[in-house]
Amino acid sequence: MVSRAKHPCSSSLPPIVFPSGPSATYAAFSQKEDAALDARNKIERHRYAKLLLEYAERYREFSSVSFFVETMLRELAGREGVTNQSRAMAAVWSMKLLSCHSPFKQFMVHITEALLPAIFCNYDAKRLDYAPAAIQALLCDRALHRDNPFFSHSTYMHEYDASLLKLKNISGELKRVSFTGSEWKRIAHMLVVYVQSERKRRAFIAWRDNVKKERVVNKLRRNVVSRHGADSRFLCVALGFLRWKSATAMSRVQFLTERLHDAAFQLESAKNQFHMECFRADKLQLSNEEKDSELKAVMCERDELQLEVERLKEQLKIQERNHEANLRARLLEILTLAQHQNILLKKIVGTQFDAKEVVAGWLHKEDGDYQEREPEHGENEALQGHSFLLRWCNHILRSGEVGVLRRVRNFADDFADGEVFHGIIRYVFPEKKEFATSVDSSVADRLRLVCDFTTNIPLAVSLTVEDFNMKREDRIIVAVAEIFAYYVEKKRADAVSESFRLVVEQDPLQVDSSIATDSEDVSLLTTEEDVKKQLSIWNKELSKQVENFRLGVWCEMDLQKSGMCISREAARLTWERGRGHPRYVVTAAPSRHFVSLNARKMNDLREKFGSCTPQVWRSVVQSLKRVLWKHVNTITSIFYHYAGENAHEMDEVQFWRFVEDSRLMVEPLSRQTIARIFDTVISPKLMAMLQAKSVEKQAALLEAAEEEMNIRRVKPAQFTEILLHMGAVRFRDSLLDAAGRFLTGLSVPTLCGVTPTTVDFYRPESQRVIRHLQEDLARVFFFYVKQQSENQRKSSKGLKQPSGRFVGRISFDAYLRMFSDCGFVADNKEKENNSRRGSTEPHRYCRKVKFTDVEEITETFNALHERVLLLPEGELCFSLFLESFGIACQYWCPDPKVSFPRKLACFLTDMIERLRTLHSRSALILRELPPPTVEKGDAGCVP
């Protein structure tokens, strides 16, 4: 192998020339440039602070913030030496001033908050208080440097200029650095080539030396390994033999040690067993001796006991003879006591309150009317108090004691003439002689007599003739319930008096003729058969008494339950009327008009929810009736609240008042939808004509029908049908679910939280006046609404009025025009003359020219508008239009001695007469009414 030279040659390096350039000075240059930018920004802020201080002093000279802002910006636009950045900062300050004092503060605040983060870099409201100390010392006003974020933030415009300048400097420096980098790259390449060649040379030298060393080591290792291998094999064999020998010896020693331990344990066990056997033998010997001595003692005791037994046998015979005599005497005493108990029990049971006599014939006997009604009205109807009262009343009338043979099914129509109530009083109060001969008297005399009696008893609810005429079921039920309670308490008092007479005033054990069979002498019962016979007789009588007592307890419990139901319902009805929610219908008979649905008239609902067979549709209608029975109290309360007590029909006006008060006009149940439902149910012929006509003629036909049609009336069944249609539109569920959800959402109306004038307006007397003049008032309303719509179409301003009769709404301008047409409000000429008189005497009170003015009308209009939340701004519906006359009549006649209905009637008569005279040649046609008068006597148009 050829070896290399001892002094190998190394590759020579080329001459290295290091690049030189100005990159080392870039850092210092950059720092100087940043310092220059900061100094320029501080100078700019200082100049702007002086400018701001100058205008802040002038700010107090201006009375308007907007005028100050306009003046400042105009001056800065033409001023020399003011940079664009200063003008922009002045504009920001102007926005802050306008957002604090401007009438446009509502949106200027949001505009300012939105623009500041876009103008200033990293804008934060918390940093506004951290302006430089020099600026704070110069301004001396915290509000100025808070309203000018330029002092604590840098603008994006400044950052852009600084970044642009730095970018230019960095681009030049980058060109210089790129040239220097290419030189350094060439030098680095030369160094890498040299290092790689030197590394290869040194690796070859090391490999060659390592090969030589391994060759020498292999030669020396061959001899040493052979000798060492022979010695190792000999030593391993010797070591294995010695280990086997020591293991064998240890195993033998362990075996012998275990054998020795077992032998020692067996020896110890045998020794212990021997000791135990010796102890057992000694114990058996001692026990045998004790048993012998005990046997002798027992034999002696046996002999003594035999003697004692003989003595006790003789004593037992003597005691048996004495016990037989005592037992015979005690048995006689027990029989005597049982006889006395039987007599006393009969007296006590006979003198207790007999509930069977009170409930017999009515409580456990169903009337045919209720048996027919329960499947419709529900399972709990039989548990209601008025049902028990109706059974009791029918029982009294069937008894023949009152001379009235009829059956009552409700407390309204059947009690209206007072004959049934008169019969109940005769039955419960037979001692009242004045009721015995007045059966054939007139209805008025009978009602007056009944009312006087309820006042003199006195009852908690004193009935009046108006209660019977208005058929107020709740008050009549409460009065009958109180009479029933008095009747039951009277029976209880009679029973207690009888018990006191028989138990306290007489001897309880005195034998009466009614129980003479139980007064036999028990001393005659000498044989066992006689005693058994007498005991069987008493057991039968006791069983009979227990059965009668159980029946009496059941009747007492049923009477108590019925009395509780009656008292609870009476208390509930009294509470509801006391809080302003009287229940106009209680029994089921008057409620039948509200649930008597006709399946043929509801075919549109049948088509809407899917066509089905007539049988299925009739079953659906029956299920719908059961749903209506659950909510019949709510339906009847709403109907009679708006239609009036004892009303058979509801006006169209009152229906729309119900719609507006209940806030039902929520999509998809709009006003037009409700009007269409009303027309479909109330005027089916009109809707049939509309469907038969072409589309082009429907609008004209509907408009003509709305103008000519009188105010329609809604019957109870039609009112329920309208509610079902509204529920079907409001909810997209099945018909039963939609009806249930809609009726559940309705609430019982009340007049709580309204003004006293509103309460007086909705009293029955005032509503009779409104119903008498309702046709004329509706024509007035439609006339001005139509004029208002025509003016809007001509001027093309405002929203389009909704079509329909009472769907329309009158605006404030039209409402004020109506008062002006009536001459109730001063015109412009009268206002001018009045203002001239007031100007000559400034301290003199200026009285109104008319009984009201525009301010009062505006106040009334706004107060009424707040009653209905869904009305548009500045408009009134027809119900509020009518209610406004109740407020206006108070201004027209402020005399407190004149009743409110008379004021309302006279005011409306006067207003209608003025409008009739003014519009005698127009389309407004009104009736000629008698002249009004507010004096007592004839009220003119008051019905």
Is 273 a domain residue? no
Distance CA 409, CA 588 (A): 8
Please check whether residues 57 and 122 belong to one and the same domain: yes
Q: Which one-letter DSSP state was computed for residue 811?
A: E
Residue 616: helix, strand or coil by DSSP? helix
Residues 6+ apart with CB under 8 A from 526: none
Mean pLDDT, the chain, integer: 80
Give the pairing of strands 713-714 and 650-651. Answer: antiparallel
Please check whether residues 499 and 645 belong to one and the same domain: no
Please check whether residues 496 and 627 belong to one and the same domain: no
Which of 207-221, 368-382, 543-557, 926-940 has the largest mean confidence?
A: 207-221
Distance CA 262, CA 256 (A): 10
Distance CA 132, CA 113 (A): 23
Please check whether residues 695 and 746 belong to one and the same domain: yes
Helix axes 774-795, 878-892, angle to 10 degrees: 110
Mean pLDDT over residues 624-652, rounded?
87
Q: What is residue 870's predicted lDDT score, i.e. its pLDDT?
A: 73
> DSSP letters along 697-746, please?
HHHHHHHHHHHHPPPPEE-HHHHHHHHHHHHHHH--S-HHHHHHHHHHH-
Please check whether residues 692 and 788 belong to one and the same domain: no
pLDDT at 8 exceeding the cut of 60? no
Which of 663-667, 701-705, 934-938 has the largest mean confidence?
A: 663-667
925 or 690, which is more confident: 925
Q: What is residue 907's predicted lDDT score, i.e. its pLDDT?
A: 92
> DSSP letters along 443-487, please?
HHHHHHHHHHHHHHTT-SS---HHHHHTT-HHHHHHHHHHHHHHH
Band (pLDDT 50/70/90 cuts) for residue 113 is confident
pLDDT at 799 exceeding the cut of 70? no
Least confident of 620-634, 677-691, 739-753, 823-837: 823-837
Residue 137, token pair as written in the block: 């010392």
| Whether the Cβ atoms of residue 455 and residue 426 lie closer than 8 Å to each other | no
Please check whether residues 623 and 722 belong to one and the same domain: yes
Residue 747: helix, strand or coil by DSSP? coil
pLDDT cut 90: percent of the chain above it = 6
Please check whether residues 556 and 428 belong to one and the same domain: yes
Is 924 a domain residue? no
Residues 6+ apart with CB under 8 A from 723: 635, 739, 742, 743, 746
Least confident of 110-124, 446-460, 577-591, 928-942: 928-942
pLDDT at 353 exceeding the cut of 80? no
| Whether the Cβ atoms of residue 381 and residue 569 lie closer than 8 Å to each other | no
Q: How far apart are the first and last CA of the chain?
A: 149
Residues 6+ apart with CB under 8 A from 688: none
Least confident of 41-45, 550-554, 627-631, 636-640: 550-554
pLDDT at 738 exceeding the cut of 70? yes
Least confident of 401-410, 751-760, 852-861: 401-410
Band (pLDDT 50/70/90 cuts) for residue 611 is low
Q: Give the number of residues written for the chain.
A: 943
Distance CA 307, CA 667 (A): 114
Please check whether residues 666 and 769 belong to one and the same domain: no
117 or 13, which is more confident: 117
Distance CA 491, CA 489 (A): 5
Please check whether residues 436 and 557 belong to one and the same domain: yes
Q: What is residue 204's predicted lDDT score, i.e. its pLDDT?
A: 92
Is 266 a domain residue? no
pLDDT at 940 exceeding the cut of 50? no
pLDDT at 370 exceeding the cut of 50? no
pLDDT, tens digit (0-9, with 9 covering 90-100), for 484-520: 888 888 888 887 887 777 767 665 555 444 444 444 5
Please check whether residues 881 and 737 belong to one and the same domain: no
pLDDT at 95 exceeding the cut of 70? yes
Q: Which of 644, 581, 643, 662 is nearest to 867 (CA)?
A: 662
Please check whether residues 725 and 812 belong to one and the same domain: no
Is 241 a domain residue? no
Residue 64: Cβ-neighbour burial (10 angstroms; 0-12, 13-18, 19+): exposed
In this structure, the dihedral spanned by the alpha carbons of residues 756, 760, 763 and 767, taken in order and rounded to 10 degrees, is: -130
Strand partners, 155: 120
* Rounded (5°) CA angle 354-355-357: 75
Band (pLDDT 50/70/90 cuts) for residue 521 is low
Q: Which of 119, 132, 122, 112 is nearest to 45 (CA)?
A: 132
Q: Which of 682, 675, 681, 700 is nearest to 690 (CA)?
A: 700
* Rounded (5°) CA angle 6-10-12: 155
Is 454 a domain residue? yes
Q: What is residue 430's predicted lDDT score, i.e. its pLDDT?
A: 82
Is 169 a domain residue? no
Q: In the chain, how many domains are there?
A: 4
Please check whether residues 434 and 558 belong to one and the same domain: yes
Amino acid code (one letter) for 586: V
Mean pLDDT over residues 745-763, rounded?
84
Q: Domain range holding 894?
A: 764-918
Phi, psi of 648 (to 5 degrees): -95, -15
Radius of gyration of the chain (CA): 59
| Whether the Cβ atoms of residue 577 and residue 475 lie closer than 8 Å to each other | yes
Is 2 a domain residue? no
Is 806 a domain residue? yes
Residue 377: Cβ-neighbour burial (10 angstroms; 0-12, 13-18, 19+): buried
Mean pLDDT over residues 178-199, rounded?
89
pLDDT, tens digit (0-9, with 9 covering 90-100), for 282-320: 899 888 888 888 999 999 999 999 999 999 999 998 888
Band (pLDDT 50/70/90 cuts) for residue 6 is very low
Q: How many helices (H) and strands (E) does the chain have?
A: 33, 4
pLDDT at 899 exceeding the cut of 70? yes
Distance CA 691, CA 678 (A): 16
